[in-house]
Amino acid sequence: MRDLLSISDLSVAFQVQGRWIPVLREVSLQVGEGDFVGLVGESGSGKSVTALSVLRLLPPTGRVISGRVTFRGQDLLGLPDTAMRKMRGGRIGIIFQEPKTALNPVFSIGFQVAEAVRAHRRVGRSRARAEAERLLDLVAISPARERLDDYPHQLSGGQLQRVVIAMALAAEPDLLIADEPTSALDVTVQAQILDLLRELQSRLGLAVLLITHDLAIVAETCKHLAVMYAGQIVEEGPTADLFDSAAHPYTRGLLTSVPILGRPTVRGKLLSIPGLAPDPGDLPRGCSFHPRCSEVMERCRLDEPQLGSNGPGRGSRCFLTAALAAEGPGSRREIS
């Protein structure tokens, strides 16, 4: 499958009190045409900064230090501002976390979706309104024609997110970046929005990059998964493989934190990863995860592991898994 979006060795820093703090460190990630990729990690791991870097929406205090981001082979980081504005929201659709902040409360939803259409297509107002109706119907806002003149306050949180998705689809994008699109919704509505994204991805042939902190969300949604910790990709591979035999201790820790009926608990509480993620401005020497890792070795405290292959289409940033992979498939069972 040909790569649609390619992020290569991307490093980003933020300026804090005159000091540049590394937030992303040599992040590489690919999204193929029609693919559904999940980017997972705790809050502060760098997931949203990755998306903002791709879209060139970093705040003034942030800057790309090194790396390359291409879309269909075109260098996004070197694209002129005018061309990037057409790309953002055009070929690349965006869904942000909180739908209420993405919509203007004083304009009807039909007007706002129609304006998104007109921003990227040369059509008149009547044609744009007809297209807005089609898009609202596509995202299951029903009856679409009767809801065109509704205002945001008249819709539920799930309906508002559907409107935001309709706006993201207005320019018929090739890639949809969804940054925590369900975190503000209750569990039932989360499932509905995820079902909608899967349906749209299949029907329209979209590629989707889904950013979330919740592994349960990606379990049945994403074909490929990348796990972030402290600004780095620490493990990646087919989602089913990572759920079946996660190699990195951090990924396994995340998996044991997912609530599953019948899973063992400690004093009635779910198992969790001890400690806290490190401050980006005060990263530990060696592996960033070693202060929280139950399998830490002396080498982990001194040297930084690289993201190495540990199976077909898989990678892990861990000395232990690299050693076991070198020993052969039989050793892999020890860390599964």
pLDDT tens readout for residues 292-302: 998 999 999 99
Kindly report the CATH class assigned to 3-91+173-222. alpha beta
Q: What confidence score (pLDDT) does residue 1 get?
A: 58
Select the more confidently predicted residue: 16 or 186: 16
- Tell which residue, 249, 245, 194, has the closest CA to residue 216: 194
Residue 334 pLDDT exceeds 50: no
Contact 172, 93 (CB under 8 A): no
Backbone phi, psi, residue 67, to 5°: 110, 180
Q: What confidence score (pLDDT) does residue 183 get?
A: 80
Report the distance separating Cα 133 and Cα 79, nearest Å.
33
Report the distance separating Cα 97 and Cα 86, nearest Å.
22
Residue 270 pLDDT exceeds 80: no
Q: What does pLDDT average to over the chain?
A: 89
Question: What is the sign, positive or negative, of the torsion defined by CA atoms of 245, 190, 234, 29?
Answer: positive
Helix (H) or strand (E) holding 324, with range, is helix 319-327
Which runs of E-coded beta strand occur in the chain? 3-16, 19-32, 36-40, 62-71, 74-75, 92-95, 175-179, 207-212, 224-229, 232-238, 308-309, 315-316
Q: Among 55-59, 83-87, 186-190, where is mean pLDDT lowest? A: 186-190
In the chain, CATH 3.40.50.300 covers: 3-91+173-222
Q: What confidence score (pLDDT) does residue 185 get?
A: 80
pTM of the full structure: 0.90
Contact 43, 32 (CB under 8 A): no
| Average pLDDT of the residues in 119-140 | 92
Joined together, the tokens standing for residue 98 give 């909180």
| Average pLDDT of the residues in 84-97 | 90
- pLDDT category, 83, cuts 50, 70, 90? very high
Backbone phi, psi, residue 6, to 5°: -130, 120
Percent of the chain with pLDDT over 70: 91
Residue 331 pLDDT exceeds 60: no
Residue 310 pLDDT exceeds 60: yes
| CB proximity list for 66: less than 8 A, separation 6 or greater | 9, 10, 11, 26
Question: Helix or strand or coil: residue 266?
Answer: strand
